[in-house]
Amino acid sequence: IFFRRTTMPLVNIGPGFYNIRAPFKVAAGLIDVGTHMSICRLTNGNYLVIDTVNLDAQLKSEIDALTNGGSKIQAVVATHPFHTLAFRGFYSHYPNAKYYGTPRHLRVIPEIPWVGDLQCPKTRALWEPDVFMRIP
User: What is the model's pTM?
Assistant: 0.87
Average pLDDT over residues 85-94: 92
Whole-number average pLDDT of the chain: 88
Res. 41: pLDDT tops 70: yes
Report H helices in the chain: 57-67, 87-93, 103-108, 121-124
φ/ψ of 12, rounded to 5, equals: -80, 105
CB burial readout 75-114, b (16+ within 10 A) else e = bbbbbebebbebbebbbebbeebebbbbeebbeebeebeb
Least confident of 8-12, 91-95, 106-110: 8-12
Task: Confirm if 135 and 119 have CB atoms less than 8 A apart.
Answer: yes
Residue 6: pLDDT band (50, 70, 90) is low
